[in-house]
Chain A
Amino acid sequence: MGSRMLMKGNEAVGEAAIRSGCRYYFGYPITPQNELTAYMAKRMPEVGGTFIQAESEIAAINMVYGAAAAGQRAMTSSSGPGISLKQEGISYLAGAELPCFFVNVVRGGPGLGNIAPAQSDYFQATRGGGHGDYRVIVLAPNGVQEMADLTMLGFHLADKYRNPAMVLADGILGQMLEPMEFRRPDFPPLPPKDWAVGNMENRTSRLVSSLFLGEGELEKHNLDLQKKYDKIQAEEVRWEGLMLEDAKVALVAYGTSARIARGAVIQGRAQGLKVGLCRPITVWPFPSQIVGQISENVKNILVVEMSMGQMVEDVRLAVEGRCEVHFYGSTGGGIPAAEEILERVKRLI
């Protein structure tokens, strides 16, 4: 196992990517993810990899598309406005079933918004984001350790399912320093990339494409994609529970909000409040079954987000009216306070 070190979230993603075998990074500067771009500019040449500062986020994601089509582990990163520009390419990657990994270090929106941390890109991340019926695997870390761990998992899941996978972080997770270590996950072997282009000796030609013009071809392709998404939903849900066993109020929060919610739970328990926390680690696939089960045992659910209410819709869909679902959010760079969360919990218990 590696030794513990102090690292910034953005840099932890970069190093974890390199340790996952990623040798192609294509980026474009945007705050608050610039440490990642700078880290890759320095590290990629050291490991014989490729770093390109592209002319735009659109070009960067399309360079990822090219390297991924050649069967290589490739990535890009950005923040909200840049991720919006990458959506065209992400849709093509999903349509062509190319694995790739990317990070959204979310800042406040809409538009140019600000550079403060936010969770307001949840809809964009978990609903595909671009055009067409597709899904991206979305991993939501709660600290620097998970920034690294989920990057490694992201590359693995992307290859396993031939699908884009992403880390949905925010400005706090990207910028903060925490002690962490680079683990060596023991992932099962992956299928061969027998679809990648290049080295055509002794085989027929291959086509990497998201175009299906023939009668019924796109319908079949989309149904096949859906089967894949169903499998991901059945097998790849990850979440963490805290003191849910006897909870009367369950908090549901991810990422930075979950860190604050965790503090609220610990404070609340010290005051004798029966409160627990459900933290989705995969926000797509969303732990709907888990949230559904929790809703059978609690009086109220309180969803905490750094947005005006996005994940709360997934919670309501999972709860299906079995208990009341409340929302507490902050926006525009504001961060929910543990005390505010506790005040609401007290009213709901």
Chain B
Amino acid sequence: MAKAFSRPATFRDVSTNYCPGCGHGIIQRLVAEVVDEMGIRERTIGLPPVGCAVYLDLYLDFDMVQPAHGRTPAVATGLKRALPDHIIIGYEGDGGLAAIGTAEVIHAANRGENITMIFVNNAVYGMTGGQMAPTTLVDQKTATTPLGRNPERDGYPLRLCELLATLDGAAYLVRTTVSSPANVRKTKKAIRKAIEVQMGKLGFSMVEVLSPCPTNWGLNPVDAMKWIEEKMISYFPLGEFKTPEDKNEVLIDDTPKREPKTK
């Protein structure tokens, strides 16, 4: 009997450190599936920065370079310039991309770096214990907004896709979620398209994924998925904010294929 569902070869056969109901495992599995389906594992390099995203190298089996918090787009820039025929996938949370690394992501996008960022937006700092993130919703309670996020004091949730969409160097910007099987499939499609944009050398690509953090939201996994659909999507609308089609550019992989090299 044919096997209908199996573990992607790039997805290591280990249990994850993630809490029950966490979105990281789903998103990382999707990256593994796309990398395997595209046959690009040998020339893919991942960047796991800090927080829960830092475990990426434990689960995905390709070369990894671990950057400092928020510096992923800058490190990815150095990597891509040194290895222009490789696929560079940064994987970063909302603190990294929308707070401490805002300058790095804006300028990498503005330079049109041919890199792909997977932006996991769970509206909270996860590993450090649930502090306010730049994407924390108004009135959302966190460890550092115990009475709820007050925009007069804490500012408003930051919409990164919309912000980057004003930049000419950004080629593909999309926001998805993993709140349902249909949305998981859409996220996978978006990840594939982002990598195709990178391989076509069309510019910067980013997939923002609204992802559950049941532990820090104080919800069970099922209610966390509902919270995304009921609370997050209204502020962070899903969809493509910029596509190469806007510029009438065609997706073609003109990356030279390399002969296998022995060390």
Contacts and interface: CB of A to CB of B under 8 A. Distances in A.
Interface of A: 24, 26, 50, 52, 54-56, 58-60, 62-72, 74, 88-89, 92, 96, 192, 194, 197-203, 205-211
Categorize the interface residue count of chain B.
Answer: 35 or more
A59 B104 contact: yes
B57 A207 contact: yes
B43 interface: yes
Given A62-B75, A65-B78, A211-B54, A201 B261 contact: yes
A24 B82 CA distance: 8
Interface stretch (B62-70, B163-171, B214-222, B234-242): B62-70
B71 A72 contact: no
Interface string B39-61: 00111110000000010010001
Contacts of B75: 62-63, 65-66, 69
Interface string B61-94: 1111111100100111111111100100000000
B260 interface: yes
Given A205-B64, A209-B57, A62 B104 contact: yes
A59 B71 contact: yes
Contacts, number: 137
B138 interface: no
B63 A64 contact: no
Contact of A89 (B54, B64, B71, B263): B71
A69 B68 CA distance: 13
Given A55-B103, A201-B42, A211-B54, A50 B263 contact: no
Nearest to A202: B262
B78 A64 contact: yes
A66 B79 contact: yes
Given A59-B107, A67-B82, A202-B263, A197 B74 contact: no
A211 B66 contact: yes
- The 7 A-B pairs with the shortest beta carbon distances in the complex, nearest first, are A66-B78, A62-B74, A70-B82, A201-B260, A63-B78, A209-B66, A55-B107
B7 interface: no
Contacts of B263: 192, 194, 202-203
Given A63-B74, A67-B79, A209-B57, A200 B63 contact: yes
Given A197-B45, A198-B83, 6 more contacts: A52-B111, A56-B103, A59-B74, A66-B76, A66-B79, A208-B66
